[in-house]
Amino acid sequence: MKIADIVGQLKAERDKLDRAIQALTGLNGTQKTAKKRTLSAAARARIAAAQRLRWKKFKAEKKS
C-alpha cells in the first residue's frame, strides 16, 4: 500500500469518528424540555371541588 492511500483511509476514519462524536454530544442535554404546565388557582379550586364531590358520593354509597 502506498502512504498516500493509508493517509486517505486514516482521514476517512477520522471524519467518521468526528461525525459520531458530534452525534453523541448532540444528545447530551441539548434536547428541548417540555414547558412546565401550571394551573391557575381557580382551576385548582374547580378540580378540588370536583374531587370533594366524588369522595362525598363514594362515602354516601359506602354507608348505604
Between the alpha carbon of residue 60 and those of residues 48, 51, 53, the distances in Å are: 18, 14, 10
The model's pLDDT over 14-44, given as tens digits with 9 standing for 90+, comes to: 999 998 888 887 776 655 667 888 999 999 9
Look at residue 52 and tell me whether its pLDDT is greater than 70. Answer: yes
Q: Is 17 within a domain?
A: yes
Q: Which residue has the cell 498516500?
A: 4
Residue with cell 461525525: 19
Running DSSP on this structure, what letter comes out for residue 45?
H
Rounded-to-integer distance, Cα 58 and Cα 32, Å:
42
**pLDDT exceeding 70 applies to what percent of the chain?**
89
Under 8 Å CB-to-CB from 39, ≥6 apart: which residues? Answer: 47
- Specify the number of domains making up the chain: 1
Residue 5 lies in a domain: yes
Residue 9: give the domain boundaries.
Answer: 1-26
